[in-house]
Structures are given as C-alpha cells and as structure tokens.
Amino acid sequence: MRQVMVTPVSQALPSLKAFAMNGATMFDSQDELLRRIHTDLMDGYDEELEMEMEDRVDEAQDAEALKQHKADRQRYFRELFRLQAELVKLQDWVVATGHKVVIIFEGRDAAGKGGAIKRITQRLNPRVCRVAALPAPNDRERTQWYFQRYAAHLPAAGEMVLFDRSWYNRAGVERVMGFCSDEQYEEFFRSVPEFEKMLVRSGIQVIKYWFSISDEEQHLRFLGRIHDPLKQWKLSPMDLESRRRWELYTQAKEVMLERTHIPESPWWVVQADDKKKARLNCIHHLLHQMPYGEVERPTITLPERVRHEGYRRHQVPGEIHVPQVY
C-alpha cells in the first residue's frame, strides 16, 4: 500500500486557483470563490473535531500536560485524515473490482467499536460502505435459522458492510445472559465456521475485530456515561448487567476466539484502552487486508449553467422558512 500524505488546505489553495478562474462568474471575485472553497474544506474537517468533543480535555491540567495533549491531538488528526484518504481509495477499488467484504466489530460494552466505525465510514459513500447494527431479534426472527437475519445484510459486488455486533452475539451476550440454550450455543459453534467458509467461497472477504479493554477502563467509561447527559443514552440495563458479569464475559470471549479463529476468517484483537490509537491501528490494519490500488478517475469539468431569458425564480412563502435563530 502506498503511503500518501493528505495535503494541508493551505498548500492546496494554489492548485485551486485554476479552478477558480472558471468558477468566479457566480462570485464577486476569484478571491471570494477561493475563500468559499477554503471554508467548505474546513467545514469537512470540523466534522471530525465535533465528533472528538466527547474526548474533552481537563482544563485543570498543568500547562505542560495541556501542551502535550494538544500535540497528541494534532498527530492524531494528521494521521486520521491520511488514513481516511486511503479509505476513499479503498472504496474506489472495491467498486471498480466488484470486491465484497464483511467487517465484524465485536468487543465489550464501551470498548470503542462505534467510534472506530464512525471514523471508517465518515468520508465514505454510504451506498458502498454501510453499517449493519441489528436490534434484538423479534418474535418472528427467533423462529428463523439463526444466521438468516444477518444474511439479509451481506454485501453485493462493490460493497463493504460493517457489522456493529454480529452473529457472534450468540457466543457473547446470549450465552452470558442466558438468552440461548446450551444446545443452541453448541450448534452455533458447529455452524459458524462452515457459515463463514461458505461466505468466503462465495467471494465475500470476512474480517473480524475484537476490541479489547481492561476492567479499569470499562469502569471509567461507564462512569463517564453515567455522569454525561450526552452519553447516558448509551447505557442500557444490559450494559450495566454486563459490568457485573465481567468474568463471565471474559470466559465467553476466550471460548469464542478459540473455537472460531479459522484461516478463512481469523480474529484480530485491537487493544482499545486508548480510543484514538485503537481507531488508527484498526484502520491501518484494515487497509492492509486488501490489495487495493489507486483507481484513475476521469477529469471532472463543471458544466456551465444553462440560462434562459424567460426564467424567473418565484418567492418562497415566508411562513414556511425555518426561523434563522443562529
């Protein structure tokens, strides 16, 4: 995989001037157009900054600690943007080659699976790379073949599907919470290797990640969710019960990894006590799982807008405008 650095916006501006020559007709000047393009690019980066607000810094830290925190964040964002640029190339390659890939994210509650998935999908086309996060099965689904509801979300050619939890619920939460019988549990382990081998034989690549966090780190993240109104929705009675049954989850995880780690679809463990490093490591590893290359794109030329003499834009009634509170 080629290492490609993302060009800083300040360095990219000169290359936009030629584009501005063709697009300045709708603006007062080329400088105005460049300013608008620059603002739009920065808005895209701000999306990531907004997502990072959950990792708030303690302003009570000393100056040296704050300085180090700022430096760490700069390194994190620089590397994240570079990796996300590579993910766009991976997406183009998947579409161009008709590749099919399933990426499974498993781990304890509050391990950081959702954060990693957000960073992977943030700049990708949701029609190409989509997330499957299934709720608990309903009464009808409980009577189906166990894998049936997951099979409906498998990718077609040129698609990537990220499972935010998956059929491995049976080996984890269902086992620990007593939602499946011993017979169903054993049948799962008999079936899942064959199911995944069948997927691979059909041309679907299966990549499985387990996000691993320590007892202490989960404890801290749960406390953070309890005391943060913006995160309390993440806590369910099941999450709280999982905290109490930490050791049972450990046993279930160890059995699952041992019995379902097969050459066709091996497990990969992401050390996730540091959320930012876990995201970067996961994306970096994911990029190395496929032999993607840069797909050449045709040169894009923005066509001139067609203008007609009789065209008149009608006023929109004021009562249907959204109030401009901000």
For residue 58, the model assigns a pLDDT of 57
C-alpha to C-alpha distance for 71 and 291, rounded to whole angstroms: 33
Helix (H, G, I), strand (E, B) or coil at 208: strand
Residues 15-66: tens digit of each pLDDT: 555 544 554 455 567 777 677 666 666 665 655 665 665 555 555 567 888 8
Tokens of 131: 């997330």
Instruction: Flag the least confident range among 52-61, 84-93, 195-204, 295-304.
Output: 52-61
Residues 62-98: tens digit of each pLDDT: 788 888 888 888 999 999 999 999 999 999 999 999 9
Work out the percent of the chain whose per-residue pLDDT is above 90: 72
For residue 117, the model assigns a pLDDT of 98
124 DSSP 8-state letter: S
For residue 56, the model assigns a pLDDT of 56
The answer to whether 130 and 161 are in contact (CB under 8 A) is yes
Q: For tokens 């499957």, what's the residue? A: 132
320 DSSP 8-state letter: G
